[in-house]
Structure 1
Amino acid sequence: MQHDNTKSHGLLRLLTQGFLVHAEKKTASELGDRSKYIGMSDIGKGMECMRSAVASKLGLSGIPAATAVGGLAPDDVARTLERQITLQRGHWQEHGIEKALLATGVKLLPQLEICIVHSGVPIKAHLDFTLVWGGLRPAVRILELKSNARIPESLYASYEAQLYGQVGLLKSCWSEPCFSVPETELKSVTFPQAIQSVFNVALPESSNNVDIEAWVLSISLSEVRPFGPYLPDQAMLEACLQTAVAIWRTAGDMRAGNLELNALDYCQGFHPLCDWCDVNADCPKFQAVNIPTDSACGLELEELAMLKKQKTALEERIAESEKRIRQTYHLVGGQDWISTGDHRFRVVTVAGRRTLDRSLVADKLISLIGDELKTQSALEQCEKEGKPHERLYISKINKPLKSAA
């Protein structure tokens, strides 16, 4: 069957426009005008890359308005749609997680807002989920959801800064009229007042008598992993507030024409989030020799990038297929080989790789030697460093969108 490419592109444009309209409405209803305050995600981004944080605050994201989709080239429609699916997936997962938590009977507030003014800078925190327990051992848990294609081994510093800002504001503003509950008339109330009104649960007037933690739930398409707990830390809160002030004042200087974007500090070294930065096309970090795309070298580099993308997709398909086959093998009670065509298959248990636990070795040696310094010295003398090696990084350039011819 042949497909009409013109109609296919029309359908993709319609879907892309729908995503953008929905995103604009959702942002306006839940987060308001983000140009008028500094949010926790701005702070997290600013701690790693001031250039990216300020560009985002000035609306230099490169995301087109919904009304502009009709004028985009087909490649840019596809790129915008891919980006929107990735961003919107987090909201879909948020809705599902909320339903799952509410099914347990837990007392939960979605999108609780904390609003303060610090050194003349308006700052807001929007907490994905706030869970509350009253009684003799009152407790509050903040859950921040992060949608990831793959669950990271450890959290990005920007995510952790966001959590420290949220949990720090909750504790420090506890008895101040800084809290608002969406879709209710509760505006500018204290946290205990909000909880009393919504759940009829009495909480202490001081946060010092409450067990407060913040957690991140990292969610992929098939896995959820919690990271935490993050506890209120006054030093971390102060760092977050100082970063908020720096972003706000720097954005003001840029609006006044006193600063250029490329004069701002940017993330140093390799960082996986750089690929997602909307202003990485002309970032000073990536100043390099520009090779024409139609040259032999340019064509080979483009082909390599395409092959690595295909490899990643293929590896994901292989992993899914292997998982499915292993499950089926166990369900049918397989204990022997399964043959089909020219191939045989069997699931076997392979012993885990044996590794040396350095901290455990150190503890054992300290107990035998009785001297921590001598133990550390002995361990360092036994270490072997591998030879340096080269690694090729390929990073996506998020170019400005083009109009359709």
Structure 2
Amino acid sequence: MPHENLKAQGLLRLLTQGLLAHAEQKTVCELGDRSQYIGMSDIGKGMECMRAAVASKLGLSATPAASAVAGLDPDALARTLSRQIILQRGHWQEHGIEKALTATGVKLLPQLEICIEHSGVPIKAHLDFTLVWGGRRPAVRILELKSNERIPDSLYASYEAQLYGQMGLLYACWGEPCFSVPETEMELVTFPQAVQAMFGVTLPDSPNTVDIEAWVLSISLSEVRPFGPYLADEMMLATCLQTAVAIWRAAEDIRAGNLELNDLYYCRGFHPLCDWCDVNADCPKFRDISIPADSACGLELEELAILKERKTALEGRIAEAEERIKQTYRLIGGQDWISTEDHRFRIATVAGRRTLDRSQVVDTLTSLIGDELKVEAALEQCEKAGRSHERLYVSKINKPLKSAA
């Protein structure tokens, strides 16, 4: 049995090394040396946490290199593999979505690059998919893919900033030689020139007469939800460019020893993306009291973290099983109970939760009473606030992984 475990560990180690190597190669091939420019994802990150954005420009990361996998202990190996599976799932989905869109015959530019310099700062945007239609009503659609464990109710501000930056640069640089298409001879041409060379489609010299929108496709393992449309906005583009300059200048100051990373603005409120931050190990946001890992309190805290991880995984499995059974039940046209030895199952329609639409109540009462201020005052007197409660947050520390002794 120990021999088989060693073989299993060897297979996982090989897979982890391959995932890391593939990520490194893909980054170099598609994005180049990211320390040499500011990208749209950097800008989005910088708007929420300048410290994290600058740290990425300085090459600070908790992710080991592919060459270091051989020295990872089993626990570190498992954490690295789990993280890479989640992070790289988006690339696999991107490949599948590209094949699906191409199969429709739509004219599609994958990973279109826009390269500019602003206030001496090199800036690049990489658009996941750019769809083009010519003719009498030319149109362009930017699609940005985001892989999510669960589809969010609304987009993170960093995602929206990334999209506004892409959209703004496409519009502002339309007729400038700033566009390149990977794996083609199209380098530093105008957008109409790129489209003409790739598809034989003629676009206007100005974007003013073109229907241009940007969308985000949020993709989980079983659902896709579009968010948009987003339109070009000069103020948002100006904000993105200012953020890019701020990130670049801060990185220069830190390299020169004129600034410390922890002097920069960081996300102070609760944010779910903090768990994925590569530099959260020593973030000022998490000033803490260190507890020995082998103390009673330390052991209990670690046990709680493990239990919550198991709970999350179990809830996911339960949701998948329930959905699978519901689909089967509907397919067989089930109306009655399905029984096993000790349990019975049935799908029932449960009435939705009834709520009051406050704005509609105000409008209705105002039309009856004729005084909106009195209506608002009366509603405020009738409102009841729930009691405050405590919530325990458990967050991962992403510190550099140590090699096995």
Instruction: Calculate the TM-score normalised by the size of structure 1.
Output: 0.97
CA–CA distance in structure 2, aligned partners of residues 104 and 380 of structure 1: 54
Structure 2 counterpart SS, 1:4: helix
Structure 1 counterpart SS, 2:344: strand
Match of 1:186 in 2: 186
Match of 2:46 in 1: 46
Alpha-carbon distance change, 371 to 228 in structure 1, aligned in 2, over 3 angstroms: farther
Match of 1:376 in 2: 376
CA–CA distance in structure 2, aligned partners of residues 21 and 65 of structure 1: 8
Match of 2:390 in 1: 390
Q: What does 1:94-113 correspond to in 2, within 5 Å?
A: 94-113=94-113
Alpha-carbon distance change, 179 to 281 in structure 1, aligned in 2, over 3 angstroms: same
Report deviation, 1:296. Answer: 1.3
CA–CA distance in structure 2, aligned partners of residues 113 and 366 of structure 1: 54
1:61-86 CA distance string (max 9 Å, x none): 12111111112222111111111111
Q: Which amino acid is 2:240 matched to?
A: C
**Residue 358 (1) aligns with residue 358 (2):** yes
Runs (5+) with no aligned partner, structure 1: none
CA–CA distance in structure 2, aligned partners of residues 64 and 371 of structure 1: 65
Match of 1:144 in 2: 144
CA–CA distance in structure 1, aligned partners of residues 364 and 132 of structure 2: 43
Structure 1 counterpart SS, 2:154: coil
Alpha-carbon distance change, 332 to 202 in structure 1, aligned in 2, over 3 angstroms: same
Alpha-carbon distance change, 2 to 64 in structure 1, aligned in 2, over 3 angstroms: closer
Report deviation, 1:23. Answer: 0.9
Structure 2 counterpart SS, 1:335: coil
Q: Which amino acid is 1:231 matched to?
A: L
CA–CA distance in structure 2, aligned partners of residues 402 and 170 of structure 1: 43
Q: What does 1:326-345 correspond to in 2, within 5 Å?
A: 326-345=326-345
Q: Which amino acid is 2:60 matched to?
A: L
CA–CA distance in structure 1, aligned partners of residues 15 and 75 of structure 2: 14
CA–CA distance in structure 2, aligned partners of residues 88 and 104 of structure 1: 26
Structure 1 counterpart SS, 2:221: coil
Structure 1 counterpart SS, 2:349: coil
Report deviation, 1:382. Answer: 2.8
Q: What does 1:246-395 correspond to in 2, within 5 Å?
A: 246-395=246-395
Q: What does 1:192-211 correspond to in 2, within 5 Å?
A: 192-211=192-211
Runs (5+) with no aligned partner, structure 2: none
Provide the alpha-carbon RMSD of the alignment: 1.4
Q: Which amino acid is 2:180 matched to?
A: S
Q: Is the 8 A contact 2:61 2:400 kept in 1?
A: no
Q: Percent identity?
A: 80
Q: Is the 8 A contact 2:114 2:126 kept in 1?
A: yes
Report deviation, 1:201. Answer: 1.1
CA–CA distance in structure 2, aligned partners of residues 368 and 110 of structure 1: 57
Q: Which amino acid is 1:325 matched to?
A: I
The count of corresponding residues between Structure 1 and Structure 2 is 405
Report deviation, 1:371. Answer: 4.5
Structure 2 counterpart SS, 1:247: helix
Q: Which amino acid is 1:21 matched to?
A: A
Q: What does 1:72-221 correspond to in 2, within 5 Å?
A: 72-221=72-221
Alpha-carbon distance change, 172 to 358 in structure 1, aligned in 2, over 3 angstroms: same
Match of 1:16 in 2: 16
Q: Is the 8 A contact 2:73 2:404 kept in 1?
A: yes
CA–CA distance in structure 1, aligned partners of residues 294 and 203 of structure 2: 67
Report deviation, 1:352. Answer: 1.1
Q: Is the 8 A contact 2:48 2:267 kept in 1?
A: yes
CA–CA distance in structure 2, aligned partners of residues 90 and 117 of structure 1: 29
